[in-house]
Amino acid sequence: MDLLTTLVDKGLRRELPTREEALAVLATSDDDLLDVVAAAGRVRRQWFGRRVKLNYLVNLKSGLCPEDCSYCSQRLGSTAGILKYTWLKPDEASKAAAAGLSGGAKRVCLVASGRGPTDRDVDRVSDTIKAIKEQNEGVEVCACLGLLSDGQADRLREAGADAYNHNLNTSEATYGDITTTHTYADRVDTVQKAHAAGLSACSGLIAGMGESDEDLVDVVFSLRELDPDSVPVNFLIPFEGTPLAKEWNLTPQRCLRILAMVRFVCPDVEVRIAGGREVHLRTMQPLALHLANSIFLGDYLTSEGQAGRADLEMIADAGFEVEGTGQVTLPEHRTAGGGCGSHEGGSGCGSHEGGSSCGSHGSDGGRGSHGVCGSAPAATAQDARTDLVAVRRRGAGTDLAPNA
């Protein structure tokens, strides 16, 4: 297929595909799916070999969020029966993190519900970062606390944070359809604040909210423009009690095409399979490892995930290896400046050769716009796998051991 040959060549050169090429990936047929996976897999192996980075979520504060993000079980007005608790103490959070680290995780992601942190919240998280780093040599810590005010990213960096996550989630054109309490521009501003503070920026999307192929391409091109080091791809978990509870638009094949498109557009960044992989990829999860080089281990923020041991077995059985703490995730050209998330000459997700550029707080899955298009038929209500959506009842905020 000429399209795939072109995309592989561009990916190996870190060259931006055209919008038409990205859309064409999403429009490929199921008959061509394995060819698409194999082609994107070549790009993945060029920059990341067969390594899989493991990340572990700690939900520092769950539920009771004043924002109205339609996809989120922690949103204002949600009736989902999730765990609700206020801030974990630093020793509690460090203990929760230790479970994931002992299971092989390299990065701990500290997440808190809410619009954004107060200065006192930043102090709390800073103490937690220091506690985790003191007890775990070589661990990476990413914070995900919502919209940042001036100076807060610098304070997190000074406390030892390596990265900051804030997802764009969907295209700018459809953002107002899923959230009204803040704007797309607010999210872009927070990612830029993280960059400016020297933090490794982490920003991704949520697929399955009823968006079109054009919306998916728009948000991924926008992410390339923002130049994050890692791009988490969430697949909507349709929680009962949220406005998007009936949105079952994804098939395993569509999920793989989305991941392949992200890899072609952002060839040399950490592409992470995040929330919803068990719900929507299901038995096709091992194929997704040929596209993404990073996953979350165990449970998510408010939902239960595959057992940590099953994740490790899946990685080994698929012929991949867990990335060690002594290994650098990103290719050398993205880390040449020496810092976590530094970029040679300002080059980013693909190097923006020729001046090419792109368009303009995580999903509940973290590890959490309307009208589907594309050639693959959307899933229907009859395909809804509500049996795979399980509310987290263990780990952080409970007395039960985590699933790591």
Rounded to an integer, what is the distance from CA 233 to the centroid of its chain?
Answer: 5
Integer Cα distance of 344 and 292 in angstroms = 23
Phi, psi at residue 253, to the nearest 5°? -65, -40
Q: Name the DSSP letter for residue 230.
A: E
72 marked as part of a ligand binding site: yes
- Measured over the CA atoms of residue 109, residue 114, residue 118 and residue 123, the dihedral's sign is negative
Convert 256-274 to b/e letters by CB count within 10 Å (16 or more is b).
Answer: bbbbbbbbbbbbbbbbbbb
Strand partners, 53: 294
- Find where tokens 């038409």 sit: 20
340 marked as part of a ligand binding site: no
358 marked as part of a ligand binding site: no
187 marked as part of a ligand binding site: no
In angstroms, the first-to-last Cα distance of the chain is 41
Rounded to an integer, what is the distance from CA 323 to the centroid of its chain?
Answer: 17
- Tokens representing 241 are 């009690």
- Tokens representing 124 are 């709390």
- Tokens representing 401 are 């051991």
349 marked as part of a ligand binding site: no
Residues annotated as catalytic are: 65, 69, 72, 109, 142, 202, 272
- Tokens representing 193 are 């604040």
Output the known binding site.
65, 69, 72, 109, 142, 202, 272
Output the known binding site for [2Fe-2S] cluster.
109, 142, 202, 272
